Amino acid sequence: MVLKDKRQIDKNRHFFQSVGHALEGIKKLILEERNFRFDLIITLIVLCVGLLMRIAIYDWLWLFAAFFSVIGSEVLNSIVENVVDLIVGHHFDLMAKRAKDIAAGGVLLSAIFAVIIGALIFIPKFIELINK
């Protein structure tokens, strides 16, 4: 008997198949998650400002730590939201709300971390630029 449904249910056969699935996930994040797109736009703006300000390599390290902290927590938040919605559907459940709120709180904490890093790097640069 031939299966009509050809969706994959087994493990990936090779590395490039895994990469393909990962790229599909990133594509879904970009297309379906507004906050993920916002995070990417802010990241691009900060990258451009960093290039214009010619920040030092150690500042880039901190900025990239902040970028990936926010983007990573946004990905985890999206996973939690999708899994919770899969389980409870469109019904209110206090534990589902709690899980979603905690995941969103994780994103907020990493965003605060990123703002602090950005302020520590860019405020002195802007002050230096103004005082010239």
Q: Round to whole Å and give the CA distance between 28 and 98.
A: 25
Binding residues: 33, 74, 81, 100-101
Q: Round to whole Å and give the CA distance between 25 and 4.
A: 24
> Domains in the chain and their CATH numbers?
19-130 (1.10.287.3610)
Helices 57-88 and 34-53, interaxial angle, to 10°?
Answer: 180
Extended strands (E) in the chain: none
Binding residues for ATP: 33, 81, 100-101
Closest C-alpha to 53, from 39, 45, 40: 45
Active site residues: 74
Regarding pTM above 0.75, the answer is yes
- pLDDT tier at 81 (50, 70, 90 boundaries)? very high
The residue among 76 and 3 whose pLDDT is bigger is 76
- pLDDT tier at 6 (50, 70, 90 boundaries)? confident
Token representation of residue 10:
């087994």
pLDDT, averaged across the chain? 94
Binding residues for a divalent metal cation: 33, 81
- Three-state DSSP state, 127: helix
Closest C-alpha to 12, from 30, 25, 27: 25
Whether the Cβ atoms of residue 109 and residue 77 lie closer than 8 Å to each other: no
- pLDDT tier at 1 (50, 70, 90 boundaries)? very low
